[in-house]
Amino acid sequence: MATQKQKKTQKPKRTWQKRLIAVIACLLAILMLLPVFTMVFQSAFAATKDELQEQINSGKQQAADLSSKIKKLQSNIDAIAGDKSKALEQKRLLDEKVAAKEEEIANTKTVIANYDALISQKEQERQKAVAREEEEFELFCKRVRSMEEAGTVSYWSILFNAADFSDLLDRVSFVGEVMEYDNAVMDQLAETRRQIEDLKANLESARADQQAQKDQLVAQKNELDDDLNAAIKLVEEYESKQSEYQAAQDELKAEEEEIQSQILKKQKELQKKIASGQISFDTGTGWQWPLPGIYRITCRYGNRIHPITGLPQFHTGNDIGAPRNTPIHAARGGVITKSTYGNSYGNYVVVDHGDGYITLYAHMNSRAVSEGQVVTQGQVIGYVGTTGSSTGNHLHFEVRYNGKTVDGLKFYPSLAGQFVFS
Ligand SMILES: [Zn+2]
């Protein structure tokens, strides 16, 4: 009877105990390793994610600074609006506002791109957590199945099947271990679920933040268009009603003369430096067209009837119509003797080629060089815009020889067939 009883209880004991111990050992090993893997993955991403978040935060700070700068410029514009004697100052402030607005737009685009990177990392992290949850759940199911196979579905049945008191004690201690393990598995599953929920909420908020930035970008672009239109309208206004804007006309004329004398003065200084060997540079070969591939001449050098005033006027350069921010290349190598903003030329750059020739590039949206800098032929010196007394995006390309303007197109005989005059 006793042997029979022992046989009956020992056999299942060995089976389920062996199986369970094997499964537990295996599972515990995996469970112990999982957090290590997770930590490795998280730390690998953490640096980049933190960096991205930091970049987004500093981008938002920059946006706040730009926004207050733009507001200040607008209040300065408002203060002199309608004052015809301050038309040029209004245009200068509008140009400054446009530049700040463009900086704002570039900043917003960077923030949006950083959000893209951050969102994709968060999404990867979430997918990893979901995969981990599936693995953990699979392990849990395996564990339940192995219990079922061992015929020990409930802990109570394990305990009730004890052969004697000592066996019962063994079983109690074993059940305790198993329950502890089960709890750890359940806890891990709950923790993973919580992490997934967190990541999901995190992702949703990042997406919402990014959408807000995208909406802002649309608004900023519209504001930029409004500012550009206001700037063009203002120039058309003071050009068409010259007698009403006498102050502006006088200012422009005085500025033109001042620029002319400065260019000549710097030309003499540079020629002395070249003669004494203090400076040397390579002008390159021949003349390179400043806007490669763009040959639409919207206003030629020479006498013309002003399109707005209808009055005869001398045009000191050739206007090349081109999209905003098209790169402008130096026609020849030389030294930058001027890189500044003027009411007439807007943002302009003068390259002195050292042999009596200078080239002047006007109405740039932005300048890429500074005074005193040596540039090589073809180097980008700025970008097309409509700053200063201009009513549309174009490059005013001017060539002077010993102070006198000349028609720049004559240096490009090979392009003669490509120029389109409109
Ligand atoms: Zn022009």
Mind listing the pLDDT tens digit for each residue in 15-33?
Answer: 545 555 544 444 444 444 4
**Mean pLDDT lowest among 167-176, 320-329, 396-405:** 167-176
Residue 299 Cα, ligand 1 centroid: separation in angstroms? Answer: 7
Q: Give the C-alpha separation, 391 to 420, whole Å.
A: 20
Helical (H) or strand (E) element with 389: none
Q: For residue 346, which amino acid is it? A: G
Q: Give the C-alpha separation, 292 to 321, whole Å.
A: 12
The mean pLDDT value for 264-275 works out to 96
Residues 389 and 235: beta-carbon distance below 8 Å: yes
Residue 138 Cα, ligand 1 centroid: separation in angstroms? Answer: 75
Q: Give the C-alpha separation, 116 to 101, whole Å.
A: 23
Residues 374 and 334: beta-carbon distance below 8 Å: yes
Q: Pick from 363, 285, 337, 361: which is nearest to 91 by CA?
A: 363
Residue 353 Cα, ligand 1 centroid: separation in angstroms? Answer: 21
Give me the percent of the chain exceeding a pLDDT of 70.
Answer: 86
- pTM score: 0.77
Residue 313 Cα, ligand 1 centroid: separation in angstroms? Answer: 11
DSSP 243-290: TTTHHHHHHHHHHHHHHHHHHHHHHHHHHHHHHTTS------SS---S
Q: Give the C-alpha separation, 379 to 288, whole Å.
A: 10
The DSSP call for residue 331 is S
Residue 274 Cα, ligand 1 centroid: separation in angstroms? Answer: 31
Q: Is the pLDDT of residue 172 over 80?
A: no
The reported pLDDT for the residue numbered 170 is 83
Residue 220 Cα, ligand 1 centroid: separation in angstroms? Answer: 29
Query: Which ranges in 81-164 belong to alpha helices (H)?
Result: 87-149, 155-160
Q: Tokens 């001042």 label which residue?
A: 258
Q: Which residues surround ligand 1, an ion (CB under 5 A)?
A: 317, 319, 396
Query: Which pair of structure tokens corresponds to residue 309?
Result: 């005033």
Mind listing the pLDDT tens digit for each residue in 365-387?
Answer: 999 999 999 999 999 999 999 99
DSSP 157-214: HHHHT-SSHHHHHHHHHHHHHHHHHHHHHHHHHHHHHHHHHHHHHHHHHHHHHHHHHH
In this prediction, residue 185 has a pLDDT band, given cuts at 50, 70 and 90, of confident
Residues 55 and 96: beta-carbon distance below 8 Å: no
The DSSP call for residue 422 is -
Q: Is the pLDDT of residue 233 over 60?
A: yes
The reported pLDDT for the residue numbered 386 is 97
Residue 226 Cα, ligand 1 centroid: separation in angstroms? Answer: 24
Q: Pick from 319, 321, 316: which is nearest to 263 by CA?
A: 316
Between the CA of residue 371 and those of 16, 178, 235, 351, what are the distances in Å? 87, 80, 28, 9
